[in-house]
């Protein structure tokens, strides 16, 4: 086993998250770890970058085989500043983001900071994976299944690497390790959030709104969606890319529209 790999870790729950400690444990056997994680929780930050103010990068802890930095920006900022300031001579051999406290399947991919960071890795030409545990954002979630099966996935990853224009999205069901039924390849399921706001009134009589909502699964019977695989007790693994062009519709519209 090559233990000389350079590994970049980040997340969107922030430097103090238990899921990040679990990710460090998962990756320790595979090389030297550099953690660059957000100072504050950054759930739902998608691929946001910080433009209108400056950010900081602060060394936090340093030990044998692992150095941790705090970044005051978003998950994508963490990747960008790591590449710009820390990996100036050598690219990381792999970027791993997570382990997110909460599933990142179906439309959650659109909003996920965890996967925003993995997508940013692809833009830098780094092999990238995101891991998420399908807990309801429980800060004290049990990550043993993630660590155990995550290593199986990493072994395959190093042996037979995916194309460099994809990142992998791994979702682990929130059930005891012994009950996990295995790992299955999935695709992004269709669905959306509904009933999204909790409207309240402040002491001055003015309304304000908290984002909340329920997930509506638009393919409840599909055997191969990420969302449904998790629901059935499987770990879902799916490759994603950044070219969102819909080529079929491009050809159709090209024929149909008159733009002269």
State the minimum distance, in angstroms, from the CB of residue 226 to a copy of itself: 9
Distances (CA, A) of 114 to 48, 117, 204: 11, 5, 37
Site string for a copy of itself, 198-237 (x = CB under 8 A): -xx-----xxxxxx-------------------------x
Q: What part of residues 1-40 is at the interface with a copy of itself (CB under 8 A)?
A: none
Options 39, 91, 144, 190; binder of a copy of itself; rule CB under 8 A: 190
Q: Which residues pair with 108 in a beta bridge?
A: none
What dihedral angle (degrees, nearest 10) is formed by the CA atoms of 48, 196, 18, 45? 0
Q: Which residues of 2-36 are buried (b: 16+ CB within 10 A; e: fewer)?
A: eeeebbbbbbbbbbebbbbebbbbbbeebbbbbbb
Look up residue 252 and give its DSSP letter: H
State the minimum distance, in angstroms, from the CB of residue 123 to a copy of itself: 4
Name the residue nearer to a copy of itself (CB basis): 62 or 160.
160
Q: Which residues pair with 97 in a beta bridge?
A: 10, 130
- Inter-residue contact 100 to 112 (CB < 8 Å): yes
Q: What part of residues 120-179 is at the interface with a copy of itself (CB under 8 A)?
A: 120, 123-124, 152-153, 156, 160, 162-163, 165-166
State the minimum distance, in angstroms, from the CB of residue 162 to a copy of itself: 6
238 binds a copy of itself (CB under 8 A): yes
State the minimum distance, in angstroms, from the CB of residue 65 to a copy of itself: 25
* Rounded CA separation 53/97 (Å): 24
Distances (CA, A) of 125 to 28, 148, 165, 178: 22, 27, 7, 36
Name the residue nearer to a copy of itself (CB basis): 62 or 195.
195
State the minimum distance, in angstroms, from the CB of residue 64 to a copy of itself: 26
Options 67, 110, 177, 222; binder of a copy of itself; rule CB under 8 A: 110
* Rounded CA separation 59/97 (Å): 19
Name the residue nearer to a copy of itself (CB basis): 24 or 37.
37
State the minimum distance, in angstroms, from the CB of residue 8 to a copy of itself: 15
90 binds a copy of itself (CB under 8 A): no
State the minimum distance, in angstroms, from the CB of residue 206 to a copy of itself: 8
Site string for a copy of itself, 56-75 (x = CB under 8 A): xx----------------x-
Options 59, 148, 181, 196; binder of a copy of itself; rule CB under 8 A: 196
* Rounded CA separation 245/117 (Å): 21
Residue 8 phi, psi dihedral angles, 5° rounding: -110, 125
């Amino acid at each position: 086993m090559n233990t000389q790999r350079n590994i970049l870790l980040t997340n969107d729950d922030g430097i103090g998250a238990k899921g990040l400690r679990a990710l460090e444990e998962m990756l320790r056997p595979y090389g030297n770890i550099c953690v660059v994680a957000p100072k504050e929780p950054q759930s739902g930050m998608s691929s946001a970058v910080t433009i209108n103010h400056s950010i900081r990068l602060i060394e936090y802890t340093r030990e044998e085989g692992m150095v941790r930095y705090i970044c005051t920006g978003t998950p994508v900022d963490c990747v960008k500043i790591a590449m710009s300031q820390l990996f100036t001579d050598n690219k990381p051999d792999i970027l791993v983001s997570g382990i997110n406290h909460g599933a990142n399947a179906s439309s959650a991919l659109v909003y996920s900071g965890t996967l925003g960071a993995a997508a940013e890795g692809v833009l830098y030409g780094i092999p990238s994976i995101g891991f998420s545990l399908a807990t309801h954002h429980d800060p004290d979630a049990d990550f043993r299944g993630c660590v155990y099966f995550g290593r199986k996935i990493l072994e395959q990853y190093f042996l037979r690497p995916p194309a460099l224009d994809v990142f992998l999205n791994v979702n682990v069901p929130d059930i005891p390790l012994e009950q996990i039924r295995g790992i299955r390849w999935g695709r992004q399921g269709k669905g959306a959030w509904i009933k999204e706001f909790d409207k309240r009134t402040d002491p001055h009589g003015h309304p304000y709104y908290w984002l909340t909502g329920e997930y509506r699964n638009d393919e409840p019977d599909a055997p191969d969606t990420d969302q449904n695989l998790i629901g059935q007790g499987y770990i879902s693994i799916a490759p994603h890319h950044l070219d969102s062009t819909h080529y079929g519709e491009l050809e159709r519209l090209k024929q149909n529209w008159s733009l002269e």
